[in-house]
């Protein structure tokens, strides 16, 4: 990994189809925004995926949408740097066996203790 392991970062859920074609990272700090993301994900699903329950008074969510992927690669988040005002998080993709030919649009939802710091995301090794 490019940075330090983040002990308080927990993967809440993930799925192989987000419906989002391009790479995107979202920092979500309220239930309304999380519900809005899931309404996008669930547009073509019946029944839809359940929205994870998070306590936004204590935690926030990081949603990583990888966009179009061939094969199976998972993001690995690590902390590159931290100051009193901001925190930089690296997003790397694990290497995969490129034998799979299927295309997916995966997303990952992580939770992290709430912070007033500005959080920046940086792609590493893509």
pLDDT in tens, 10-48: 999 999 999 899 999 999 999 999 999 999 999 988 889
Of 102 and 13, which is predicted with more confidence? 13
Q: Which residue has the tokens 């970062």?
A: 9
Instruction: Report d(CA 27, CA 92) in Å as an integer.
Output: 17
Residue 121 burial (10 A CB sphere; 0-12, 13-18, 19+): middle
pLDDT in tens, 46-64: 889 999 999 999 999 999 9
The model's pTM is 0.89
């Amino acid at each position: 990994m490019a940075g330090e392991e983040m002990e308080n970062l927990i993967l809440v859920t993930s799925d192989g189809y987000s419906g989002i074609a391009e790479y995107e990272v979202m920092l979500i700090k309220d239930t309304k925004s999380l519900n809005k993301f899931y309404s996008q994900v669930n547009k073509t699903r019946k029944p839809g995926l359940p929205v994870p329950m998070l306590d936004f008074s204590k935690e926030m969510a990081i949603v990583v949408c990888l966009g179009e992927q061939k094969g199976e690669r998972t993001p690995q988040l690590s902390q590159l740097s931290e100051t009193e005002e901001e925190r930089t998080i690296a997003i790397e993709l694990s290497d995969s066996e490129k034998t799979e030919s299927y295309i997916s649009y995966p997303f990952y939802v992580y939770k992290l203790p709430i912070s007033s710091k500005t959080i920046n995301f940086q792609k590493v090794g893509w």
